[in-house]
Structure 1
Amino acid sequence: MATMTELSSTGGESKYSQDVKVDEKLIPRKVPGLCSTRYGLALIVHFCNLSLITQSIIMYITMVAMVNSTDHQSQLNSSTEGLPVDSFGGPNNTPKSLPAVGSGLGGQFALWEKWGPPHERSRLCSIALSGMPLGAFTALLMGGFCSQALGWPFAFYVFGGIGCVFCLLWFVLVYDDPVSHPWISNSEKEYIISSLDQQVSSSKQSLPIKAILRSLPFWSICICSVSHHWLLNILIVYTPTYISSVYNVNIRDNGILSAFPFLGACVTGILGGYLADFLLTKNFRLITVRKIATVLGNLPASAFVVAVPYFNSNYITTITLLTISCILSQLCQAGIYINALDIAPRHSSFLTGVSRQFSHISSVLVPNVTGFLLSQDPEFGWKNAFFLMFAINLSGLIFYIIFGEADIQDWAKESKLTRL
């Protein structure tokens, strides 16, 4: 990875307006910060992620109304529940399947191979990925109201139209690299190219599949992603069911209360990216920063969920614990979810796509395992389900702490071609 010399602190200028030497090349003094092409690109990807997630979730919000169109009003009230727990539920009203939301997000990481300076990747990726929880917030908050006021087809018209707008913005404003972008400033172009000089090459290499399959750092990302998605699936689907069964209050019928944790998660994801880059400026090792973000996004969040059954006499405390857990879980955006850019920037799009798809194993296992536990022991089923989630989450986290790396792997370097 490109290294950065100590930054001078003269004149109160930001660190990005100073002369920075990266790989023995001097980056221009006046480099745009937030009002720059690369941050604009992150914002466009943010809204594209928002559109993708809203269109995925809105399908499940309106599913009941689509299937049972004979009683629109009553079914539209049910459609605000967000996910198809009631329409596809098994025993004890537990879902038989969960939506694999976000399965096509791996390709966006190819952009940051050529657009993301190493010491800014955490914040750029976090800004882009934060569109996912914001999309969940938007769909849960507005989907039910839109269906009730205009009818369920208009939910698709509205969110589909928004997606078309962002699609047009993507085609017009997004380019493969800074060199081909027509409106980027020369100073920012030189800044990005210089910072990526030792990481990005125009030459093409075949994908080293066997080397990737033998890579423990790659598998640590996949396994930790599975364990973290297990936590997310519990938070999104089963905690509302838990509250409904314990307090006889279906919080999914309250759009604001259901959506609020995802708004906080969006903010936390962005702040986590800035915190990660801040730690890098304080001479923290990159792998240390990635592991800190991953630990904070896994361990406290899963511990709060485990604590929920022990506070079942206090509704406010339960809601608070679940909200904090949802918010903290997004700190992983600056950890495992961008770690592929560190270990193999040339192949990060492929690695991220594979790890994302691999993580959806939890979408298959969670409803079956949790549903079985609840059907076998209604009294202690929730504790068993939450403790199992904690054990799986902790196991994946430990595996990542032991085997996770942030150095570019030998099989990902241009100078060392892997013959398989």
Structure 2
Amino acid sequence: MTDENPPDPSIPTYPDWDNTDTILSSFFWGYVVFQIGAGQIGEHFGPRYFVTGTMILGSIFNVLIPVMAQAVGPTGVIVCRVIQGLNQGFLYPSTHVLISQWTPLSERTRVSSMVYSGSSLGIVISMILSGAIADSSLGWPSVFYIYGSAGIIWGIIFGIFIVNSPSEHKTITEEERKYIQSSNSVTKDQKKVPTPWKSIFTSLPIWAIFITSCAQAWGTFTLLTEIPSFLNSVMNFDMNSNSQLSALPYCLMFIINFVASPISDKLISNKTVSVITARKICNSISCFMPSAALFALGFVDGTQQELAMAMLIVAVGMSSVANSGGLVNVIDLAPNHAGTLFGMTNGCSQIFSIMGPLTVGFLGTDKKDLILWRKVFWLASGIYLGCGLFYVIFAKGEVQKWNDKDSDEVESKNKEKSSENF
């Protein structure tokens, strides 16, 4: 969009835009707003139509981005991205509700990783195709038209075929329904389970998930938004090569998802390790290995292209193991409140998704400056390390007592009885 020399003179570009970091982070301004409410709504009313609606509406605004860019400028793009963020705040909490309803404990890690690895695969495909399309006579606007249309079609298909839970499925066998519901720890009449806010906010295991989610958000989205700029400004790759190389780390992320998750589930089902040990191992890999890779990346210069790519691949690829660690851990702790808890942790952690890309601009404006990138990578490395250690110390894996009842209300009643007896 900001290229000075588009492949076709008829393609509009905006090389004078100087707020690209702001544009890149603007999606997350809206994304953090509805996370908690989205989880609550998904738990009480079912996630099917919320996932459908968020995909279709978000895709419509994807189609509108080139139009708004030409008509309004960068402000128009920012408006579209903020609306997409507001809208997509419903996506992951609602998806987490679906996972909690449809997965027994022995398959939870595999299903979660398979579902969330879709984002990695999407990044791989879109980065490669986007570079090729933008570098062709079709130009960058076609990228938004194609992906937006695909999202609308997907949303319609999802809305037709998906149901909220096994109890609502019309053709599922009774045997399969019992198999799923017997070990997913979800209360059948979920509307009668109020949210125990006090117990949640005072739970160290929940804080451990929240803290590690912040690290993942900072590191993942800093790299997602800034890798193309780093490869272009420091490593001197052209647009098409840049898009293909930027996709490489996400290829590894997608593959690792399918390797780590069945191993984790197998270790748990065979009782080789406990649930929390498996979660801590996976989460440690997803924090400590990217931390080491980013620290090393701070020493790389423009003449070490292969080494830089290797470090980026490790940093991005290994972070995906979090899908088998902290990400799925909220379902272990409280399946009845999975949507709410995921909305809380994901929504708050997305503040760090905003801060990560914006921090690049605060640390410096010269994208060719190696010292700027060293600061960016080392800051992310330190955040990964500190938050990973916090999770190792405080995380737990067993269902919490407040999953099935309002422990805040019980505690209040107990205090009243004690006062009356006194």
Mean Cα displacement is larger for which, 47-56 or 390-399?
47-56
Unmatched segments (≥5 aa) in structure 2: 1-47, 413-422
Q: Which of 131, 134, 152 is 2:118 aligned to?
A: 131
Does residue 382 in structure 1 map to residue 373 in structure 2?
yes
Q: Which of 243, 246, 250 is 1:258 aligned to?
A: 246
Which position in structure 2 is the counterpart of 1:369? 359
The structure-2 alpha-carbon separation of the partners of 1:315 and 1:54, relative to structure 1 and needing over 3 Å to count, comes to farther
The structure-2 alpha-carbon separation of the partners of 1:365 and 1:161, relative to structure 1 and needing over 3 Å to count, comes to closer
CA distance, structure 1, for counterparts of residue 52 and residue 130 of structure 2: 18
**1:51, CA displacement in angstroms?**
6.7
**8 Å CA contact retained: 1:222, 1:355:** yes
**1:271, CA displacement in angstroms?**
2.2
CA distance, structure 2, for counterparts of residue 314 and residue 57 of structure 1: 39
* AA matched with 2:382: A
**8 Å CA contact retained: 1:235, 1:326:** yes
**1:156, CA displacement in angstroms?**
4.0
The structure-2 alpha-carbon separation of the partners of 1:293 and 1:349, relative to structure 1 and needing over 3 Å to count, comes to same
The structure-2 alpha-carbon separation of the partners of 1:415 and 1:382, relative to structure 1 and needing over 3 Å to count, comes to closer
CA distance, structure 2, for counterparts of residue 123 and residue 170 of structure 1: 21
After superposition, residues 18-417 of structure 1 pair within 5 angstroms as: 55=59, 67-68=69-70, 103-104=89-90, 105-146=92-133, 148-150=136-138, 154-196=142-184, 198-203=185-190, 204-250=192-238, 254-283=242-271, 284-312=273-301, 313-374=303-364, 378=369, 380-414=371-405
The structure-2 alpha-carbon separation of the partners of 1:367 and 1:109, relative to structure 1 and needing over 3 Å to count, comes to closer
**8 Å CA contact retained: 2:276, 2:397:** yes
CA distance, structure 1, for counterparts of residue 132 and residue 239 of structure 2: 15
User: What fraction of aligned residue pairs are identical, expressed as a percent?
Assistant: 26
CA distance, structure 1, for counterparts of residue 257 and residue 276 of structure 2: 18
Q: How many residues align?
A: 350
Greater percentage in helix: 2
What SS class does the counterpart of residue 354 from structure 1 fall into?
helix
Which position in structure 1 is the counterpart of 2:12? none
**8 Å CA contact retained: 1:298, 1:397:** yes
Mean Cα displacement is larger for which, 371-380 or 156-165?
371-380
The two structures have a TM-score, normalised by structure 1, of: 0.73
**1:417, CA displacement in angstroms?**
6.6
* AA matched with 1:254: N
What SS class does the counterpart of residue 398 from structure 2 fall into?
coil
**1:344, CA displacement in angstroms?**
0.7
* AA matched with 1:403: F
| Residues 135-166 of structure 1 deviation map (CA, whole Å, 9 limit, x = unaligned) | 22222222344454545554444323322332
Which position in structure 2 is the counterpart of 1:93? none
CA distance, structure 1, for counterparts of residue 358 and residue 152 of structure 2: 36
Unmatched segments (≥5 aa) in structure 1: 1-43, 70-83, 89-96
**1:345, CA displacement in angstroms?**
0.5
What SS class does the counterpart of residue 400 from structure 1 fall into?
helix
The structure-2 alpha-carbon separation of the partners of 1:418 and 1:408, relative to structure 1 and needing over 3 Å to count, comes to farther
Mean Cα displacement is larger for which, 204-213 or 409-418?
409-418
Mean Cα displacement is larger for which, 369-378 or 106-115?
369-378
**8 Å CA contact retained: 1:54, 1:139:** no
| Residues 279-306 of structure 1 deviation map (CA, whole Å, 9 limit, x = unaligned) | 1133111011111111111111121121
Give the CA RMSD over aligned residues.
3.6
What SS class does the counterpart of residue 399 from structure 2 fall into?
coil
CA distance, structure 2, for counterparts of residue 331 and residue 199 of structure 1: 25
* AA matched with 1:359: S
| Residues 197-225 of structure 1 deviation map (CA, whole Å, 9 limit, x = unaligned) | x5433151221112211111111111111
What SS class does the counterpart of residue 132 from structure 1 fall into?
helix
The structure-2 alpha-carbon separation of the partners of 1:173 and 1:219, relative to structure 1 and needing over 3 Å to count, comes to same
CA distance, structure 2, for counterparts of residue 324 and residue 56 of structure 1: 34
CA distance, structure 2, for counterparts of residue 169 and residue 113 of structure 1: 22
* AA matched with 1:360: Q
What SS class does the counterpart of residue 364 from structure 2 fall into?
helix
The two structures have a TM-score, normalised by structure 2, of: 0.72
